[in-house]
């Protein structure tokens, strides 16, 4: 379902682009304002409210014990899940996860997993292993949820505190949380949209509606590319992809400043 | 996978199945293998066996999903419950296959001349009967042939392959064991007529140079796949 207003606004975006301009006179490869609020929840072992422009994503992490996977008996388990909450956008509705929601969670997960952000090896407690359950909730959708969610999740993981394990009770003592979990690598993503053949970084929802597809490039510390997802019906030339990679690698330096380890 | 048990994957420049780094597995494509579907194709890609069927353009169901400007493309990728070497799996869609189905929908929304068929649906259904790594590119390769077999106008074939990093080196067309223990995976598919990238996903850690080289390797391999796709259609015309 597309509302008539979406189509009118999309036309406006395209008209501006014909003059080589973008809403708010923003450059084609510049981000909107980024803001990060860490540890805003008490019960979650890690939390962050991240926003890019008007998009808001709340990430929370719960730590639990779980059965190890049979092929990885000594390894902790990281799971990333997303919720597109009905309050975040008019076309979101309650119910089982949509393909969009699954894709969003998997793209955010992909970079973090590939870059080994958390060392999961050897996180064994008794006969169980550590489960790190990351859930992020979209509170307001104004485009570029992938980059916003990656920032939220990276911040929540960077400030994760592990509860003390009581071997006698074979359980965590949730009140005692002293141990920080070390983040081994920092990951950011840069998402570009293609609108009438032009490629724009960090699109808001009106620009996304005007576009025909997007390209997300995940970058990890040390100049490595750690994830990619081309989405939507748009096609990209190899040159366009490599140009996006170059911009994403530069933007990584800018975005990692928003991944903060609180004192 | 337990990295501690990782076998050596490249010995004297040869891979576990005897291939060189840039070799494709043997790929066999046959079109028109089903009677009821408007178009169909079977791909045997190494040990992968994948069947694709296409229906349409036909009526959209449910009706309110129809688009007065173009055809709606539905793509369904699923793995059969017996498709993997491991234990019996629950058949039907899971999170991975839902994402791949979404990617397939995007690829064929690009390729099909959807504006010619407003208010209709084109349904593409791909079943993985046997899997051995690289099923998504093999599945989209099959779907692309099935669409042409159905007589649906397209801008080109979608062809491609997955390139990954194995034992620190880039290798074309990863099989299951290489995929499990590999350090990266880059599936890329191209439009055969204009070389535009239709599918691009990636995970792992690659430098810029390795990333660019992966795309180039995929492009070279996609040409070989395209030739086989064309052959499979010609064969049916004979």
Query: Which residues on chain A are in Cβ contact (under 8 Å) with B197?
Result: 230, 235-238, 241
ipTM: 0.95
Q: What is the pLDDT of residues A182-202, one digit of tens each?
A: 899 999 999 999 999 999 999
| Interchain CB contact of B207 with A (< 8 Å) | yes
Say if CB B167 and CB B9 are below 8 A apart: yes
- Using pLDDT thresholds of 50, 70 and 90, give the confidence band for residue A23: very high
- Using pLDDT thresholds of 50, 70 and 90, give the confidence band for residue B7: confident
Nearest to B98 among A99, A111, A246 (CB): A99
Inter-chain residue contact B186 with A72, CB threshold 8 Å: no
| Tally of CB atoms within 10 A around B75 | 23
Is the pLDDT at B70 greater than 50? The verdict is yes
| Interchain CB contact of B180 with A (< 8 Å) | no
Q: Which of A102, A109, A189 to mutate to test the interface with B (most CBs of B within 10 A)?
A: A102
Proportion of chain A in helix, strand, coil states, percent, rounded to 5 = 30, 40, 30
Query: Which residues on chain A are in Cβ contact (under 8 Å) with B186?
Result: 228
Say if CB B186 and CB B214 are below 8 A apart: yes
Task: Give the residue-averaged pLDDT of B61-74.
Answer: 94
Structure tokens at A137: 């909730």
pLDDT of residue A2: 64
Inter-chain residue contact A237 with B195, CB threshold 8 Å: yes
Distance between B237 CA and the closest CA of chain A, angstroms: 30
- Using pLDDT thresholds of 50, 70 and 90, give the confidence band for residue B4: low
Q: What is the pLDDT of residues B200-211, one digit of tens each?
A: 999 999 999 999
- Using pLDDT thresholds of 50, 70 and 90, give the confidence band for residue A178: confident
Q: Which of B6, B101, B112, B203 to mutate to test the interface with A (most CBs of A within 10 A)?
A: B203
pLDDT of residue B1: 47
Exposure pattern of A214-246 as b/e (b: 16+ CB <10 Å)? bbbbbbbbeebbbbbbbbbbbbbebebbeebbe
- What chain A holds in terms of domains, given with CATH numbers, is 23-258 (3.30.230.70)
Q: Is residue B48 part of a domain?
A: yes
Query: Rounded to whole angstroms, how far apart are CA atoms A144 and A50?
Result: 12
Inter-chain residue contact B2 with A72, CB threshold 8 Å: yes
- Number of A/B CB contacts below 8 angstroms equals 96
Q: What is the pLDDT of residues A68-114, one digit of tens each?
A: 988 888 899 999 999 999 999 999 999 999 999 999 999 999 999 99
pLDDT of residue B3: 60
Q: Which domain, by its residues, includes B41?
A: 19-237
Task: Give the residue-averaged pLDDT of B188-193.
Answer: 98
Q: Is residue B194 part of a domain?
A: yes
Is the pLDDT at B188 greater than 60? The verdict is yes
Q: Is residue B136 part of a domain?
A: yes
Say if CB B135 and CB B48 are below 8 A apart: yes
- Using pLDDT thresholds of 50, 70 and 90, give the confidence band for residue A123: confident
Query: Which residues on chain B are in Cβ contact (under 8 Å) with A103?
Result: 99, 102
Query: Which residues on chain B are in Cβ contact (under 8 Å) with A230?
Result: 106, 197, 199-201
Highest mean pLDDT of the ranges B82-96, B98-112, B166-180: B98-112
Inter-chain residue contact A106 with B95, CB threshold 8 Å: yes
Return the closest-CA partner of residue B8 out of B174, B175, B177.
Answer: B177
Query: Which residues on chain B are in Cβ contact (under 8 Å) with A100?
Result: 102
- Using pLDDT thresholds of 50, 70 and 90, give the confidence band for residue A41: very high
Nearest CA in chain A to B95: A102
Query: Which residues on chain A are in Cβ contact (under 8 Å) with B201?
Result: 228-230
- Using pLDDT thresholds of 50, 70 and 90, give the confidence band for residue A168: confident
Inter-chain residue contact B202 with A227, CB threshold 8 Å: yes
Inter-chain residue contact B196 with A237, CB threshold 8 Å: yes
Task: Give the residue-averaged pLDDT of A142-161.
Answer: 97
Domain containing residue B63: CATH number: 3.30.230.70
Rounded to the nearest 5 degrees, what angle is found at the Cα of B79, between the Cα atoms of B9 and B175?
A: 15
Inter-chain residue contact A114 with B2, CB threshold 8 Å: no
Nearest CA in chain A to B98: A99
Q: What is the pLDDT of residues A218-228, one digit of tens each?
A: 999 999 999 99
- List all residues of chain B from 83 to 102 with a beta carbon under 8 Å from chain A: 95-96, 98-99, 101-102
Query: Rounded to whole angstroms, how far apart are CA atoms B196 and B178?
Result: 27
Return the closest-CA partner of residue A83 out of A71, A93, A68.
Answer: A93
- Considering its fold, how many domains does chain B have in total? 1
Query: Which residues on chain A are in Cβ contact (under 8 Å) with B184?
Result: 114
Exposure pattern of A28-42 as b/e (b: 16+ CB <10 Å)? ebebbebebebeeee
Is the pLDDT at B2 greater than 60? The verdict is no
Inter-chain residue contact A229 with B200, CB threshold 8 Å: yes
| Interchain CB contact of A110 with B (< 8 Å) | yes
Distance between A166 CA and the closest CA of chain B, angstroms: 28
pLDDT of residue B92: 78
Nearest to B203 among A105, A213, A227 (CB): A227
| Interchain CB contact of B36 with A (< 8 Å) | no
| Interchain CB contact of A165 with B (< 8 Å) | no
Residue B64, Cα to own-chain centre: how many angstroms?
30
Lowest mean pLDDT among A172-176, A229-233, B18-22, B78-82: A172-176
Q: Is residue B13 part of a domain?
A: no
Task: Give the residue-averaged pLDDT of B119-140.
Answer: 97
Q: Which of A225, A229, A242 to mutate to test the interface with B (most CBs of B within 10 A)?
A: A225
Nearest to A115 among B95, B205, B208 (CB): B205
């Amino acid at each position: 379902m597309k509302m008539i207003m979406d189509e009118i606004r999309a036309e406006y975006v395209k008209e501006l682009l014909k003059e080589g301009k973008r809403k708010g006179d923003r450059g084609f490869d510049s981000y909107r304002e980024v803001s990060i609020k860490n540890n805003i929840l008490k019960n979650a072992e890690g939390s962050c409210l991240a926003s890019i422009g008007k998009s808001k994503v709340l990430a929370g992490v719960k730590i639990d014990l779980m059965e190890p996977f049979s092929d990885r008996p000594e390894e902790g388990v990281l799971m990333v899940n997303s919720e597109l909450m009905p309050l975040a956008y008019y076309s979101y509705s309650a119910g089982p996860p949509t393909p969009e929601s699954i894709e969003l969670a998997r793209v955010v997960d992909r970079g973090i997993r590939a870059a080994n952000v958390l060392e999961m090896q050897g996180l064994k407690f008794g006969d169980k292993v550590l489960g790190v359950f990351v859930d992020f909730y979209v509170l307001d959708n104004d485009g570029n949820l992938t980059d916003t969610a990656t920032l939220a999740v990276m911040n929540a993981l960077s400030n994760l505190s592990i509860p003390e394990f009581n071997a006698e009770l074979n359980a965590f003592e949730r009140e005692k949380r002293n141990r920080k979990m070390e983040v081994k690598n920092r990951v950011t993503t840069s998402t570009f949209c293609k609108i009438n053949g032009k490629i724009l970084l960090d699109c808001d929802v009106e620009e996304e509606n005007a576009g025909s597809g997007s390209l997300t490039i995940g970058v990890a510390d040390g100049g490595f590319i750690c994830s990619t997802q081309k989405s939507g019906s748009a096609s990209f030339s190899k040159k366009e992809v490599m140009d996006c990679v170059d911009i994403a690698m530069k933007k990584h330096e800018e975005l990692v400043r928003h991944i903060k380890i609180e004192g | 996978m337990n990295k501690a048990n990782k076998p050596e994957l490249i010995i004297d420049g040869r891979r576990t199945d005897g291939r060189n780094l840039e070799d494709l597995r043997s790929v066999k494509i046959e079109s028109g293998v089903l009677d009821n579907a408007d178009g169909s194709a079977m791909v045997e890609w190494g040990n992968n066996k994948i069947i694709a069927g296409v229906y349409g353009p036909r009526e959209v169901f449910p009706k309110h999903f129809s688009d007065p400007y173009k055809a709606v493309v539905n793509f369904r990728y699923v793995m059969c419950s017996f498709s993997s070497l491991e234990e019996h799996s629950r058949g039907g869609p899971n999170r991975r296959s839902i994402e791949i189905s979404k990617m397939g929908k995007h690829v064929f929304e690009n390729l099909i001349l959807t504006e010619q068929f407003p208010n209709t649906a084109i349904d593409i259904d791909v079943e993985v009967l046997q899997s051995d790594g690289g099923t998504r590119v093999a599945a989209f390769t099959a779907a692309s042939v099935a669409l042409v077999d159905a007589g649906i106008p397209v801008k080109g074939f979608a062809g491609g392959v997955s390139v990954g990093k194995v034992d620190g080196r880039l290798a074309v067309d990863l099989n299951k064991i290489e995929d499990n223990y590999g350090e990266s995976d880059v599936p890329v598919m191209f439009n055969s007529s204009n070389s535009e990238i239709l599918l691009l996903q990636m995970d792992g850690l690659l430098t810029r140079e390795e990333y660019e080289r992966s795309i180039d390797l995929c492009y070279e391999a996609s040409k070989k796949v395209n030739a086989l796709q064309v052959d499979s259609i010609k064969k049916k015309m004979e």
